[in-house]
Amino acid sequence: MEKIGTILLSSLKKTCIDKRLTEARIFTSYESMVGEKISKISKPTFMQNNTLFIGVENHVWLYQLYLLKPDLMYKINSKLPYPLVKDIKFQIRDIKKSEKPKTEDIEVKDDEDIKIPETCMKVIYNISRDIDDEDLRSSFTRLMIKDMKNKIKKGEKDCSSI
C-alpha cells in the first residue's frame, strides 16, 4: 500500500501543479525577491515557457532593468526551489498598485457547466479512496475535479493525464 504523500506527490507532478505553484511564488513574493525599489516601478505580468514578462512604468526604467536582467534572474531563481526563469522580457505597462481585494469581495465562479466523463470521475475517486482522512480526501478530490475541468477547457478530454 502506497503512502498518501507518495500518491499526492505523483498526482501533483502529473498535473504540473508543482511548477505552477513555483511560478505563483514569483508573483506573490516579487518584492522580497527583487527588492522594494524595483518592485515599486515594475511587476510581473505573466510567465510563458520559462520566460517571465515584467511590466515596467516607462522606457527609462525598462532600459535600466534590461541592464540588470542577469541580476534579476539570479535574485528570482535563488529564492525558488529550482531555477525556473530562463529569460525576462520587459514591457511598458500601467503598474499602479491597486488595493488588494478583500476576501469577501472575491467572487468565485463555478464550473458546473463543464461535464467530466464518468470514466474520469471513477479514476479520480479510485485515486482518492485510499486517503483515510475524510477532509483531506474531500479536498484532494475537489482539486482533482477542478484540474480535470481545466483540462477539459483546454481540450484534453481523456483521463490518461490524471
Distance from C-alpha of 72 to C-alpha of 34, rounded to nearest angstrom: 6
Residue 55 carries which side chain, given as an amino acid letter? G
Distance from C-alpha of 109 to C-alpha of 32, rounded to nearest angstrom: 31
Record the pTM.
0.55
Alpha helices in the chain (DSSP H): 4-14, 17-28, 30-34, 36-41, 59-67, 69-78, 118-128, 134-153
Tens digits of residue pLDDT in 61-112:
999 999 999 999 999 999 998 899 999 999 998 877 544 444 444 444 555 6
Q: Are 32 and 56 a contacting pair, CB within 8 Å? A: no
The residues, any chain, with a CB within 8 Å of residue 4's CB and separated by 6 or more, are 130, 131, 132, 136
Tens digits of residue pLDDT in 33-75:
999 999 999 999 999 999 999 999 999 999 999 999 999 999 9
Maximum alpha-carbon separation in the chain: 59
Please spell the DSSP secondary structure of 118-149, one letter per residue.
Answer: HHHHHHHHHHHTT---HHHHHHHHHHHHHHHH
Residue 161 carries which side chain, given as an amino acid letter? S
